[in-house]
Structure 1
Amino acid sequence: MPMPPSPAAPKTPRPQAPTPPLHPALALMLLVLLVVGGMCLGLFIAMAGVGVLYGTGVLMQVTDVMARPQNHPEGWGVLMLMQGIPLLLGFGGGAWALLTFTSLRRDAASRLAWRPFSATWLLAAIGLIIISVPAMSILIAWNAGLHLPPFLYSWEKAARLYEDQAQTLTTFLTRFSSFERFLVAVVVVAIIPAIAEELTFRGVVLRQLSRWTNSVHWGVWLSAAVFSAIHVQFFGFFPRMILGVMLGYLFVWSGNIAVSMAAHFAQNFAQLLLLYLQQRGTIQFDADANEALPWPLALVSLLLTAGLLYWLYQRRAELAAPPVAEAHTLTSHGVEVRRPAPPVAGHTLTSHGIDSAEPPRA
């Protein structure tokens, strides 16, 4: 008599491998698309706001208002709307969407590093921006007076004309006829850029370039160069790039993007405050001038800035820099993935002697 077949053992479902993170190049390209999409959405919302606040008549001639805002009583408010909302939804919203809805969300905590930190970091970051102003004035004056070789004269002339036009618009936006206008400018010129641009350039660009090059330092410097270039101001490129470098290292050393946001806000707010006080006649200092401050003051500023940077470097958080899990290189054979070597036991010289650093066990 044949034996009945034995019941089949239930199959154990195989655990699915986690989705690998996006290649850095793909992540950066996707970021560009999301930023452009967010800015388009922001422009639509800003135009709707213009229609609600100023009426359809102003909305119908919004192009002329933006081109010649000084000829329209609503020009200042329209420009603030058209600048603030697209920036917030473009750079801020684009970076947030990339970190939330893609495979990058798995290590969002390591990249944005929203972890506890002491208030000392915030105060030091703000202090760093303030004490570096005299030293930065030397670089600002040098870059503003930079002359290119003769064969690039036509390009230099066009660049200076463009920047003069942009400066005219900036001067109009920072003309504060009331304290309420000053508060609006603080939101649009200081708070929104500090949040949106830090999310993009430090939260995404720095991290992805660090992954691609397998070096946090390359990530800091390259993201600072992109940060400066995106402002399209050649005769202010180098000071803004150095600012981006300081913001990048503040993020890396502190382990928290809120620190670089605080420093970025301090930079923009300090300039707005000086302009407001100057327009009220409280001070005589011209915050818009590209003149270098006296050399002794600049030298003291440089020494204090270097000392504070070194002090912050000595107090950098453990693994504050976003961990580089792997590096990607585009070659003729495809994408080459390079992973760092496993940690080995080492020794660190401390004030208490020599500590043995054993590799972590699984």
Structure 2
Amino acid sequence: MNYLENENTDNKVISPLKYFFDFFTLLCFVIAGMLLIGPIIGIILVGIYSIIASIDAQTIMEGIIAGDLSDTPKTILMLIQAGAALGAFVIAPWFFIRFFEKKKLRSYWKFDINLPLALLLTGVIVIVFMIVDSIIIEWNQNVEFPAFLEGFENWARQKENELADMTTLLTTFDSFSEFLLAFIVIAVLAAIGEEIVFRGLMQNQLSRLFGNPHVGIFIAAFIFSAIHLQFYGFFPRFLLGLLFGYLYYWSGTLWVPVVAHLVNNGFTLIMVYLYQQEITEANIAETKSAPWVAVIISFVVLAALLKYFRERFYLSKTE
């Protein structure tokens, strides 16, 4: 999709206020999906599971509301996560596209490029990027603030620890079925939903608002990282958002950032599962960076791959 294309067939000048209103409306839809639709879907999913598994869903939900997760099955937590993702990043955006933009969702999923080659390159690019990004992850985890920001540092570290504990809980797999459910929710569902919102909608809206696709890419990546409320993972996630944004901008189809997101999350989950099963000794959950030699080589390879991707799928269309 061309970010700056004039959708008005009469070629009338559209006020920036219109684009700002569109962006604000999108945020309202996402927030409504997160606060209203998501919890309803989560309750429905938990109710269905409780009937199948013959468990007391009411007692479990009361414990969750009270903040006590000690007796909550991981499947329940994952279903609640699935409900939140569906509400905020799938159903709400679909309503926005269908009834506000009056478009069809499939308009974002173009096939006018060599898609198999684009997706293959995307997968390789993401894996190589993860090696380069490891040095940013290690640096970000060890950031120290000056004394006058001690309050923020304490809040950020507490939030980081809370979310890290939740992540550890959800990704400690006692069975293959738990891994499979986590893969569907954390890899597949997150990839589709978050890319529809942050790249397909938000990046497009911001690019039109500022009249510059690069500004749209950077702001969307910033919001994508900030919304996770993890400062000690902000910068590597911000760079990841930039990568997804430019891959989308160059390819013009949501298939590419969705697959990029899927490879990033899915590869991580697979490696975590293999480590827990003692099939591999590589613990991808560690925040230690890759060796400098590997980072430098990967950076050169990544630059070459991105250059080729841009020339193959973007410049070839603009010439």
TM-score of the superposition, structure 1-length normalised? Answer: 0.78
CA shift for structure 1 position 107: 11
Answering whether residue 49 of structure 2 is matched by residue 53 of structure 1, we say yes
SS of alignment partner, residue 68 of structure 1:
coil
Return the alpha-carbon distance in structure 2 between the equivalents of residues 318 and 108 of structure 1. Answer: 24
RCO greater where, 1 or 2, for CA within 8 Å and sep 6 or more? Answer: 2
Q: Is the 8 A contact 1:131 1:304 kept in 2?
A: yes
Q: Which amino acid aligns with 2:217?
A: V
SS of alignment partner, residue 287 of structure 2:
coil
Instruction: Name 2:273's counterpart in structure 1.
Output: 276
Q: Is the 8 A contact 1:250 1:260 kept in 2?
A: yes
Residues 87, 115 of structure 1: CA spacing in aligned structure 2 closer, same or farther, 3 A cutoff? same
Counterparts in 2 of 1:125-204, with a 5 A limit? 125-204=122-201
Return the alpha-carbon distance in structure 1 between the equivalents of residues 198 and 74 of structure 2. Answer: 28
CA shift for structure 1 position 17: 7.0
Answering whether residue 251 of structure 2 is matched by residue 260 of structure 1, we say no
Output one character per residue of 1:195-215: Cα deviation in whole Å (capped at 9) or x when no partner: 100000001111111111111
CA shift for structure 1 position 105: 2.7
CA shift for structure 1 position 45: 2.2
Instruction: Name 1:84's counterpart in structure 2.
Output: 82
CA shift for structure 1 position 316: 2.4
Q: Which amino acid aligns with 1:222?
A: I
TM-score of the superposition, structure 2-length normalised? Answer: 0.88
Aligned residues: 303
CA shift for structure 1 position 43: 1.0
Residues 273, 218 of structure 1: CA spacing in aligned structure 2 closer, same or farther, 3 A cutoff? same
**Residue of structure 2 aligned with 1:42, choices 16, 20, 38:** 38
Residues 44, 320 of structure 1: CA spacing in aligned structure 2 closer, same or farther, 3 A cutoff? farther
Return the alpha-carbon distance in structure 1 between the equivalents of residues 37 and 251 of structure 2. Answer: 34
Output one character per residue of 1:74-97: Cα deviation in whole Å (capped at 9) or x when no partner: 520111111012212212222222
Residues 237, 120 of structure 1: CA spacing in aligned structure 2 closer, same or farther, 3 A cutoff? same
Residues 315, 77 of structure 1: CA spacing in aligned structure 2 closer, same or farther, 3 A cutoff? same
Return the alpha-carbon distance in structure 2 between the equivalents of residues 178 and 17 of structure 1. Answer: 59
Q: CA RMSD in A?
A: 2.4
Moved over 6 A (4+): 16-22, 318-321
Q: Is the 8 A contact 1:50 1:59 kept in 2?
A: no
Return the alpha-carbon distance in structure 2 between the equivalents of residues 121 and 61 of structure 1. Answer: 45
Q: Is the 8 A contact 1:35 1:93 kept in 2?
A: no
Output one character per residue of 1:240-274: Cα deviation in whole Å (capped at 9) or x when no partner: 01100010111111111111100000000010001
CA shift for structure 1 position 158: 1.8
Q: Is the 8 A contact 2:205 2:216 kept in 1?
A: yes
Residues 301, 17 of structure 1: CA spacing in aligned structure 2 closer, same or farther, 3 A cutoff? closer
Output one character per residue of 1:123-158: Cα deviation in whole Å (capped at 9) or x when no partner: 111111111122111000011101112100121012
SS of alignment partner, residue 56 of structure 2:
helix
Return the alpha-carbon distance in structure 1 between the equivalents of residues 130 and 186 of structure 2. Answer: 18
Residues 288, 68 of structure 1: CA spacing in aligned structure 2 closer, same or farther, 3 A cutoff? farther
The worse-fitting range, judged by mean Cα deviation, of 58-67 and 151-160 is 58-67
SS of alignment partner, residue 313 of structure 2:
coil
Gapped runs of 5+ residues in structure 2?
Answer: 1-8
Counterparts in 2 of 1:333-348, with a 5 A limit? none
Instruction: Name 2:311's counterpart in structure 1.
Output: 314
Q: Is the 8 A contact 1:190 1:268 kept in 2?
A: yes
Q: Is the 8 A contact 2:98 2:105 kept in 1?
A: no
Return the alpha-carbon distance in structure 2 between the equivalents of residues 172 and 193 of structure 1. Answer: 18
Instruction: Name 2:221's counterpart in structure 1.
Output: 224
Instruction: Name 1:335's counterpart in structure 2.
Output: none
SS of alignment partner, residue 98 of structure 1:
helix
Instruction: Name 1:29's counterpart in structure 2.
Output: 24
The worse-fitting range, judged by mean Cα deviation, of 240-249 and 85-94 is 85-94
Output one character per residue of 1:143-189: Cα deviation in whole Å (capped at 9) or x when no partner: 11011121001210121011111101100100111111111011000
Identity of aligned residues (%): 31
Q: Is the 8 A contact 2:131 2:298 kept in 1?
A: yes
Q: Which amino acid aligns with 2:235?
A: F
Kindly indicate which of the two structures has a greater share of residues assigned to helix. 2
Instruction: Name 1:10's counterpart in structure 2.
Output: none
SS of alignment partner, residue 286 of structure 1:
coil
Answering whether residue 91 of structure 2 is matched by residue 93 of structure 1, we say yes
Q: Which has the larger radius of gyration?
A: 1
Kindly indicate which of the two structures has a greater share of residues assigned to strand. 1
Residues 54, 106 of structure 1: CA spacing in aligned structure 2 closer, same or farther, 3 A cutoff? closer
